[in-house]
Amino acid sequence: MASQSDTQSIEGAYAEPVLRAAGDSALLIAFGDRLDPAINNAAIAFDARLRAADITGVSETAPTIRSVLVRFDPLEIAPERLRGAVAELLAERDWLAAPPPARRSLWRIPACYGGEHGPDLDEIADLVGCSPAQAAERHAEARQRVFMLGFAPGVAYLGLLPEAWNIPRLKEIRPEMPAGSLLVAVRQTVLFAAAMPTGWRAIACTPFRSFDPRREPPVPIAPGDEIGFVPVDATEFAHLRERAENGESIVDQEELA
Amino acid sequence: MSAALEVVAAGPSLTVQDAGRPGLQRYGITQGGAMDAVAMAEGAVLLGQEPTLAAIEMAGFGGKFRACGGPLRIALTGAAMRARLDGQDQPWNTSLTLEPDALLEIGAADDGAYGYLHVGGGFATPEQIGSRSTHLRSAIGGLEGRALREGDQLPVGEDRGGRTGMVLPRGKRIGQREIRVLWGVQADAFSQDERERFLAIDFDMTTRRDRQGARLKPQGEPFHAESALTGVSDAVVLGDIQVPGDGLPVALLADRQPTGGYPRIATVISADLAALVQIPGHARFGFRLVEEEEALAALRAQRREIAELSRQMRALVRDPRDMGNLLAFNLVDGVISAREEETS
């Protein structure tokens, strides 16, 4: 177990996990209020612990960037009893010292930068302070972690990009960006699984679909996984998209030790 | 030809719904499913089948329907809508038999917001990720993941059969204008004054609403969160009342986003979720704060009422007060049902 001083130095981490009722049928256990790998590891690890504990009356758990959601039937397990069981599990260890999940993957995902697939690349490069080609290269090479699946089915929150990428969101929500869009802001990338409006800037688009109801599970990537992008040109993009639509895999998946 | 229901004309938002997809929030998939789960239970009781079978959810307005390949048993629940069977008025919260040559017309909701059309055997549209529920945003479930439209034919599952011409009393949730809440996860982001105001004032349900959420218009100033949030998204739950930057609250409903970054001042108790979704556009209502204990007691009472629904069911002809127009009934069904009821 790591010493308290180690984990208290994590910026944005709470000294103690905060347990709150979210309505009468859910609990939220938060480990901090920042986007931080250690806080995210705590959430992922505690989610796994809760699933292993298999508490009667709990219908599902889900990790987020910095917390764990526990949904339950309050007539099957009284909220007070569930809070007690959760507190016992929280006391088992220093969750902020938890390592990344044991079985996780590195995904290499094709992406076409700039042009119609990444209409904001030039503007992003200006904000980052480099050329568009450099911005595309640096974004693709950065190994980003999956912090959370949320917002909509299969939408992945990735990060953290280097400090130079701490660029603001747009002032206006823009109309629908297509499925596969890679959007950047505040050192993060969001991978869109379906066409949606957004307040973030589009740097690229991938022919890979992070949500596909034909697949089991419908969302293959998981929190804690890492992602690198492989730049492809528009011709290759069109070709890969066709293959993906036919149900072929167009990404590389490698187990991370 | 196997049985099907043909959509002869479709209102703006008809979708196939069942109990949804629980257990997938970790993938960013919220449970979804019928907005009014009590109405699904009522339909199941009226037709003597499982509440998990798929039905058509009708937001505000129905459509015109016809049976294909044989007669269909139908039940109508949820928001009371103007219904006519072959031109004759049909009471709501009832079961009926739809003969192949008959036309069922369902108009606007008189009160409530979501009406339901159930069939004996349930709709047999393909399951996707373990459910037939339509999720428009990700284009899954229902028919091709979209709202129903004119000309659609919905396959119907095998009906074990049973009587029609039955009626259930109108649920108390429809017309309920006091919604009970617990403080939300970020209630402390609001000042004491703002929290008190949230409970004291009335709200108007706006027409800016869909299966994801409903905008609420406060009688007075928009709400203001005291402490700025870090903007890191967190999980949201069904019934959360979220306050976005413009200060106009949004109730998060069945197809809500699974995560959000705006503070949530309150969360509607489970027992009042069906009442909340059934508040019609422009109707005025308010929130009342309760303790967790009252929330659980209300949920227990609601589950008991649902479990005892079948005892509330009556044959239509036996209760003339429920009949808008006596001549409009399919009297044969009712009479047979009444006798079955007496001898069973």
> Could you say which DSSP state residue A142 is in?
S
Contact status, residue B7 vs residue B14, Cβ threshold 8 Å:
yes
A184-215 per-residue burial string, b: 16 or more CB within 10 A, e: under 16: bbbbbbbbbbbebebebbbbbbbbbbbbbbee
Within an 8 Å CB–CB cutoff, is residue A150 touching chain B? yes
In the predicted model, is pLDDT for residue B5 greater than 80? Answer: yes
The predicted model gives B118-130 an average pLDDT of: 97
Beta strands per DSSP E along chain B: 4-10, 14-17, 55-59, 63-68, 72-85, 88-90, 94-98, 104-119, 153-155, 166-167, 178-183, 202-209, 213-218, 234-235, 240-242, 250-252, 259-260, 264-268, 284-289, 314-315
* Out of A23-27, A88-92, A216-220, B64-68, least confident range: A216-220
Using a CB-CB cut-off of 8 Å, the residues of chain A touching B300 are: 75
DSSP B245-291: TTS--EEE-TT--SEE-S-EEEEE-GGGHHHHHTPPTT-EEEEEE--
Residue with tokens 């979720």: B273
Residue B141, phi-psi category: left (phi > 0), alpha (psi -120 to 50), beta (remainder): left
In the predicted model, is pLDDT for residue A244 greater than 80? Answer: yes
Distance CA(A115)–CA(A13), nearest Å, equals 40
Confidence of residue B339 (pLDDT cuts 50, 70, 90): very low
Confidence of residue A7 (pLDDT cuts 50, 70, 90): low
Confidence of residue A4 (pLDDT cuts 50, 70, 90): very low
- φ, ψ of residue A100 to 5 degrees: the values are -60, 160
- Nearest alpha-carbon partner for B120 in B161, B164, B177: B161
Interface confidence, given as ipTM, is 0.91
> Could you say which DSSP state residue B188 is in?
G
Those residues with Cβ within 8 angstroms of residue B320's Cβ, 6 or more apart along the chain or in another chain: B326
Positive or negative, the Cα torsion across B308, B132, B209, B151?
Answer: negative
> Could you say which DSSP state residue B196 is in?
H
In the predicted model, is pLDDT for residue B46 greater than 80? Answer: yes
Confidence of residue B119 (pLDDT cuts 50, 70, 90): very high
* Structure confidence at residue B331 (pLDDT): 44
In the predicted model, is pLDDT for residue B4 greater than 90? Answer: yes
The predicted model gives A134-158 an average pLDDT of: 96
Looking at the DSSP bridge assignments, the partners of residue B290 are none
Within an 8 Å CB–CB cutoff, is residue A71 touching chain B? yes
A14-49 per-residue burial string, b: 16 or more CB within 10 A, e: under 16: beebebbbbbbbbbbbbbbbbbbebbbbbbbbbbbb
Structure confidence by residue, pLDDT tens digits, B164-221: 999 999 999 999 999 999 999 999 999 999 999 999 999 999 999 999 999 999 999 9
Within an 8 Å CB–CB cutoff, is residue A188 touching chain B? no
Least CB–CB distance from A59: residue in B23, B139, B185: B23
Using a CB-CB cut-off of 8 Å, the residues of chain A touching B240 are: 22-23
Distance CA(A35)–CA(A12), nearest Å, equals 8
- Nearest alpha-carbon partner for B26 in B237, B260, B235: B235
What number of other Cβ atoms are within 10 A of residue A80's Cβ? 10
Distance CA(A149)–CA(A63), nearest Å, equals 9
- First and final C-alpha spacing in chain A: 21
Determine whether A246 is exposed, middle or buried from the number of CB atoms within 10 Å of its CB (0-12, 13-18, 19+). Answer: exposed
- Coil, strand, or helix at residue A131? coil
Helix (H) or strand (E) holding A185: strand A181-185
Distance CA(B117)–CA(B74), nearest Å, equals 7
* Structure confidence at residue A10 (pLDDT): 86
The predicted model gives B256-266 an average pLDDT of: 92
Question: What is the four-CA torsion angle of A28, A81, B180, B265, rounded to 10 degrees?
Answer: -20
> Could you say which DSSP state residue B131 is in?
B
Q: How many CB pairs under 8 A join A and B?
A: 139
Using a CB-CB cut-off of 8 Å, the residues of chain B touching A67 are: 234-235
The number of helix segments (H) and strand segments (E) in chain B equals 6, 20
* Structure confidence at residue A133 (pLDDT): 98
Long-range contacts, stretch B304-312, CB < 8 angstroms, 24+ apart:
B306/B38, B306/B41, B309/B41, B309/B42, B309/B45, B309/B168, B310/B45, B312/B168, B312/B169
Looking at the DSSP bridge assignments, the partners of residue B271 are none
DSSP A31-94: EESS--HHHHHHHHHHHHHHHHHT-TTEEEEEE-SSEEEEEE-TTTS-HHHHHHHHHHHHTTS-
In the predicted model, is pLDDT for residue B330 greater than 90? Answer: no
Confidence of residue A1 (pLDDT cuts 50, 70, 90): very low
In the predicted model, is pLDDT for residue B336 greater than 80? Answer: no
Q: Do B238 and A23 touch (CB under 8 A)?
A: yes
* Structure confidence at residue B230 (pLDDT): 55
What is the percent of chain B with per-residue pLDDT over 90, rounded to a whole number?
85
* Structure confidence at residue B338 (pLDDT): 34
Q: Do A66 and B234 touch (CB under 8 A)?
A: yes
Distance CA(B172)–CA(B259), nearest Å, equals 32
Closest Cα in chain B, distance from residue A181 (Å)? 15
Structure confidence by residue, pLDDT tens digits, A21-30: 999 999 999 9
| Alpha carbon distances (Å) from B90 to A115, A251, B38, B116, B166 | 58, 56, 21, 14, 12
- Nearest alpha-carbon partner for B234 in A11, A19, A64, A217: A64
> Could you say which DSSP state residue B312 is in?
H
Using a CB-CB cut-off of 8 Å, the residues of chain B touching A218 are: 24, 27, 29, 129
Looking at the DSSP bridge assignments, the partners of residue B256 are none
Contact status, residue B262 vs residue B240, Cβ threshold 8 Å:
no
Least CB–CB distance from A67: residue in B23, B234, B239: B234
Token duo for residue B343: 């001898």
Q: What is the mean pLDDT of chain A?
A: 93
Least CB–CB distance from B232: residue in A59, A63, A65: A65
Structure confidence by residue, pLDDT tens digits, B274-328: 999 999 999 999 999 999 999 999 999 999 999 999 999 999 974 444 445 555 4
